[in-house]
Structure 1
Amino acid sequence: MLGGCLQFTAFTTFWAISTKIIDLGGMNTWTVLILLSLCSIVQFLGSSSVTGQVFATAVRNFPAQKGRVVGLIKGWVGLCGGMYTQIFIGFVPVDLDDQQDPLWLYFCLVAAICCISATFVPSQFIEVHDAPAVTGSGAFEANVQRRVHFGYGILLCMGVTVVGSALLEHVVSRAVLTGFAVLIIIIWASPLILAWEGLDVEEVGGGNKGGIVLDVPLIGEEVGGTKLVSVSLTISEMVRTLDFWLFLWPCLVLIGGGIGLTTNIAQMFGSIYSSGNVVAMTFFSATQSLSRVGAGGLCDVLRRRGLSGAIVVLGGLVFMLVGYVCFVMNTETYLFVGVVFCGVGFGSAWPVMVVVVAELFGEAHLGGNYMVYDGVASAVGALLFGKFIPEEIYDAHTEEGETDCYGKECFQLTYWIVVGLVLSAMVSIAILIKRIH
């Protein structure tokens, strides 16, 4: 609730300043910049509050099914940008071809309304349970499984609707776009169905169905009444461990590789005289959303076999590596293929970070511990992969007096540098996997 209120305040302030409802005309440029930066910090704090608590709650309430549940939630997160955008386009009569249209400024107001709607009311009904015994029962497993499958169906409907609306927004009437926006809101609210008791099944024969092992113990858990290792680390304790750094670097590379792609995709396609960046970005969004869902479920599959979810990160790095190798080819076809592969790798990082941080450092401080990974990987990844590396190389190959670069040299070295960084991250995660097992 607090996080939603902070985000609402930040986005509303952005909107009020940009539309001059709050007139800053008498202030100098640096004062305005500082004020807007403070709004950004408030928005980030709100987002972090929501993110940390949501995933800590999911892990604690579903300890044996956390991969699937976290993956499902992360799938929704992956679609949120598209959802907000298509809701805005449906209800605000903005000129889609004119980015200078002043009505675009009202996107911040729509985002503010969405944030408060999606957080304030639901927060009144969510409870946190510390690993209740029932979570290991066959009935609980079946009930979670049924709801997760429903959630996958709802997520798929949302993905199809958002992508369809985005692809058709220039060829259909405004009434149709408004219809898409209404449909998106309805689908957005439909997970309320998952609270329906009619989805429950009763315990059959007691215990786990068919003797299925619902949760394989890893670090910090008990086997035969014997505690393996007591792990419940705070942030300060966590950062002093080797495992923290071994896992942080692969996460930073995976997330940074994806952010670097999304930040520079227009210039990447433009450098080879292609305008396919918008369609490619749509494919990236859909791919990384599906990858989030799949990676979360795969963590549970591996856990049942006594394996760590860190293996999924290794797989994600392989996809990221293949994606950037495709970029090296520097043709339109290979760029599209690379975007899809990078989408799979980027999306896989998000649910696995939650699961592996819980495995390595315990669940007592999971909210804060996870946000260290989320925040550091996103911030450093954005600066390193999204700005410093590509910007220097792009500017170095731009003709004097020009603002755009054309030719394979514009990004070629950037692609090779990222390939090298991905390979180093693969070594790091391989060492961590060995240490865990």
Structure 2
Amino acid sequence: MTSAQESGTNLTCDDGSQSPSSPQSASTTEETTIRAVNVPMVCCALLASMTTGGATYAFGLYGGTLKKNLHLTQAQLDTISTATFFAGMLSWLPGMFIDRFGTRLGICLGGLSGSCALMLYWIVSKGMVILPTKGEIVGVLSVLGVATFLSCALVTGSVFKIISCSCGAGTKGAAVGVAKGYVGLGAGIYTCLFHSIRQPGSSDLDFLPMAATLFILAASTPSLFLLPSAKDDGKVDDVLTPLHFRVLYTALVTLAGIVVITSLKELHESHNKQHTSTHNYFLAAFILLLWTGSIGVQMFLPHNESTLLEEEEDQQEQEDLLEPLSGFGGLEESLDQIASTCSDDGSSAAQSSSQATVVHSNTNKNLYQMLQTPEAWLMLWTTTILVGAGTVETNNMSQMVEALDYSPDVTSASLALFSVAQALARVATGAISEAALNWKGNEWWGYGGVPRPFFLVVASAVGIVAHAILALSVHESMFVFGVTLSGCSFGMVWPMMVLIVGDLFGTAHVGANYLFFDGFASAAGTLLLSKFVAQMVYERHAEADSNDNGGVEICSGQACFETTHLIISALSGTCLVSSIAMLRRTRHAYSRNNASPSRID
């Protein structure tokens, strides 16, 4: 016997797989059904999420030591770091692997391959393997950087497919925001951990074995025990409650505070020439406890049992109503088909009254089909520019500070604030976008709530203001404020990629579809804005200044990056237009699915 309707908390990846908790046939109605819940899967996803950010965005920590240890030029070092992000053009391949073979294999393989790539990177960078030429060294490290990025893509794609498929209305946005928050804080937390446990005289390159170890411990190992195999993937019950997220928010804010306080302390010690390299095992233990403990405790917090009881009651009521018809198989099948049809087109009164609806596409689109839609290209342009604008800050922060003749301490402080701002923006945007779907009082503009593409409009507007401030900054405080705002704009984009892709194009192929946006935006945005625009403007003014500096390429003054920021501000204006156009084109997808109250308040 098939069910006439599904509960809004009984979720699936929309790929046609059967749920272990789906209603049983008439001959097996008395068998005990094991109900799967999403908490273990989400815990595994959140635990693995920080490993990707920690491994990918910490190149600045050991890049200088790598350059000195292998006697590389700045151009060769830039080639190694750039090659890593250009691998984003291929990130849809790991996504397709995840969609085909499941998230457990994706995280296991991603963690294992990432760990191996980092260890080989460490062996080569420490000179344990002698390569004949600098070209071969650059080539090998570039390949290992690409392997690390693609391994992170396997983990990242699995993380957000798990959340997209196992979380429903009221929790999906918050869960995506938290996971993106862990990704954003990854580099900062890994840096704090490394500085806390490193021994006097150790090299910054020893960061790599630590990151490789955490890949195994926090990604591959938990996935073996907490994730189902591909054949067991199916519907699970979303039982997350506001308490689960309050614990996670508290941990994230505390971790962000640790990053800021540690950075400011190191700046103060460096300014006063009091810096010491003594280890602090207590801080390392506290960070690990906050990270793993706040996620692990999710397993023991009270679940949202009311949704399970309601679903069981609905299922029993349907079985009782259809029981007299059990002897008329053909009639029963016809009634089931009618009920299913009503459920599909939204005309079922029972469904509209009892189901907590989730914004989603009626049809699942693969990568090729998705790229045939105007909405995909509108979002691709918006995310590429906003992500590229953020990488301009992280890749050129020291040159900006030097050109404006600010204290060198401003560089580290600005990077720390940028990291924290973008991480908190990820968390807040994911949670607020979920609650905003159900806000009332906005019917005058055609929506019952606030659709998710609206937050791309906000991110674009913030980007315009942030880079206008940076272009005109004449004081350190003004500069730092602009950097912080740009971090907010940058951070808002990432959860929207995951959520909008799932909303508009379905979750059956969300691995490949999301990772296409993630990888392409990182690669193309970095190439366009950081490599071409920023470098071209800087070198043009540096050539003019070099005449007075003995031929040394040095750029001084506000003009070194002023044009770059003005160009980015103008391009963010085009993102404002493209995101508004996307908002209008997707209004029907959101206006019909925002009537139910959110469970996160």
After the TM superposition, which residues 248-287 of structure 1 pair with which residues of structure 2 at under 5 Å, given as runs? Answer: 248-274=380-406, 275=408, 276-287=410-421
Asked whether the equivalents of residues 272 and 330 of structure 1 are also in contact (C-alpha less than 8 Å), the reply is no
- Is 2:553 aligned against 1:421? no
Counterpart-to-counterpart distance in 2, 1:187 and 1:118? 14
The equivalent position to 1:373 in structure 2, one of 500, 517, 532, is: 517
2:226 matched to which residue of 1? 126
Asked whether the equivalents of residues 62 and 131 of structure 1 are also in contact (C-alpha less than 8 Å), the reply is no
Give the TM-score of the pair, scaled to structure 1. 0.88
Counterpart-to-counterpart distance in 1, 2:556 and 2:174? 44
Asked whether the equivalents of residues 154 and 190 of structure 1 are also in contact (C-alpha less than 8 Å), the reply is no
Counterpart-to-counterpart distance in 2, 1:221 and 1:255? 37
Structure 1 range deviating more: 15-24 or 222-231: 222-231
Counterpart-to-counterpart distance in 1, 2:211 and 2:467? 33
After the TM superposition, which residues 107-256 of structure 1 pair with which residues of structure 2 at under 5 Å, given as runs? Answer: 107-127=207-227, 130-132=234-236, 134-135=237-238, 140=239, 143-169=240-266, 170=269, 174-175=277-278, 177-200=280-303, 202-203=305-306, 207=310, 223-225=346-348, 230-256=362-388
- Is 2:460 aligned against 1:317? yes
Cα offset, 1:293, TM superposition: 0.5
> Does the residue aligned with 2:165 lie in a helix, a strand or coil?
helix
Cα offset, 1:113, TM superposition: 1.4
The equivalent position to 1:336 in structure 2, one of 480, 487, 492, is: 480
Cα offset, 1:70, TM superposition: 0.4
Asked whether the equivalents of residues 4 and 119 of structure 1 are also in contact (C-alpha less than 8 Å), the reply is yes
> Does the residue aligned with 2:437 lie in a helix, a strand or coil?
helix
Counterpart-to-counterpart distance in 2, 1:36 and 1:174? 28
Counterpart-to-counterpart distance in 1, 2:180 and 2:191? 18
1:412 matched to which residue of 2? 562
Counterpart-to-counterpart distance in 2, 1:156 and 1:352? 21
Amino acid at match of 1:40: G
Asked whether the equivalents of residues 14 and 39 of structure 1 are also in contact (C-alpha less than 8 Å), the reply is yes
Change (3 A) 1:207 1:14: same
Change (3 A) 1:203 1:172: farther
Asked whether the equivalents of residues 58 and 69 of structure 1 are also in contact (C-alpha less than 8 Å), the reply is yes
Amino acid at match of 1:33: V
Cα offset, 1:330, TM superposition: 2.5
After the TM superposition, which residues 340-379 of structure 1 pair with which residues of structure 2 at under 5 Å, given as runs? Answer: 340-379=484-523
Counterpart-to-counterpart distance in 1, 2:145 and 2:277? 32
1:56 matched to which residue of 2? 161
Change (3 A) 1:414 1:173: closer
Amino acid at match of 2:112: C
Change (3 A) 1:204 1:435: closer
Cα offset, 1:230, TM superposition: 3.0
Change (3 A) 1:186 1:228: closer
The equivalent position to 2:426 in structure 1, one of 292, 314, 318, is: 292
Cα offset, 1:191, TM superposition: 2.8
Counterpart-to-counterpart distance in 2, 1:298 and 1:287? 16
Q: Which has the larger radius of gyration?
A: 2
Asked whether the equivalents of residues 299 and 312 of structure 1 are also in contact (C-alpha less than 8 Å), the reply is yes
Amino acid at match of 1:316: A
The equivalent position to 1:44 in structure 2, one of 127, 149, 159, is: 149
Amino acid at match of 2:162: T
Counterpart-to-counterpart distance in 2, 1:247 and 1:154? 31
Change (3 A) 1:88 1:315: same
The equivalent position to 2:451 in structure 1, one of 299, 308, 314, is: 308
1:22 matched to which residue of 2? 129
Counterpart-to-counterpart distance in 1, 2:522 and 2:360? 33
> Does the residue aligned with 2:203 lie in a helix, a strand or coil?
helix
Q: Deviations over 1:99-121 (max 9, x none)?
A: xxx71121212221122221112
Matched residue count: 411
- Is 2:195 aligned against 1:89? yes
- Is 2:542 aligned against 1:436? no
Counterpart-to-counterpart distance in 1, 2:519 and 2:556? 34
Amino acid at match of 1:103: S
Asked whether the equivalents of residues 468 and 565 of structure 2 are also in contact (C-alpha less than 8 Å), the reply is yes
Q: Deviations over 1:120-174 (max 9, x none)?
A: 1221233366454x43xxxx3xx43211111111111211222222222335755
Q: Deviations over 1:293-329 (max 9, x none)?
A: 0000122022224442111111111111111010121
User: Any unmatched runs of 5+ in structure 1?
Assistant: 96-101, 209-219
2:335 matched to which residue of 1? none
Cα offset, 1:413, TM superposition: 0.9
Asked whether the equivalents of residues 72 and 296 of structure 1 are also in contact (C-alpha less than 8 Å), the reply is yes
Asked whether the equivalents of residues 63 and 131 of structure 1 are also in contact (C-alpha less than 8 Å), the reply is no
1:99 matched to which residue of 2? none
Determine which structure has greater relative contact order: mean sequence separation of CA pairs < 8 Å that are 6+ residues apart, divided by chain length.
Answer: 2
The equivalent position to 1:73 in structure 2, one of 171, 179, 185, is: 179
Counterpart-to-counterpart distance in 1, 2:275 and 2:111? 34
Counterpart-to-counterpart distance in 1, 2:299 and 2:124? 43
Counterpart-to-counterpart distance in 1, 2:280 and 2:553? 35
Change (3 A) 1:383 1:176: same
Cα offset, 1:254, TM superposition: 1.3
> Does the residue aligned with 1:199 lie in a helix, a strand or coil?
coil
Cα offset, 1:339, TM superposition: 0.7
Cα offset, 1:340, TM superposition: 1.1
What is the identity percentage for the equivalent residue pairs of Structure 1 and Structure 2? 27
Cα offset, 1:197, TM superposition: 3.1
Cα offset, 1:206, TM superposition: 6.1
2:541 matched to which residue of 1? 397
Counterpart-to-counterpart distance in 2, 1:229 and 1:48? 24
Counterpart-to-counterpart distance in 1, 2:245 and 2:305? 17
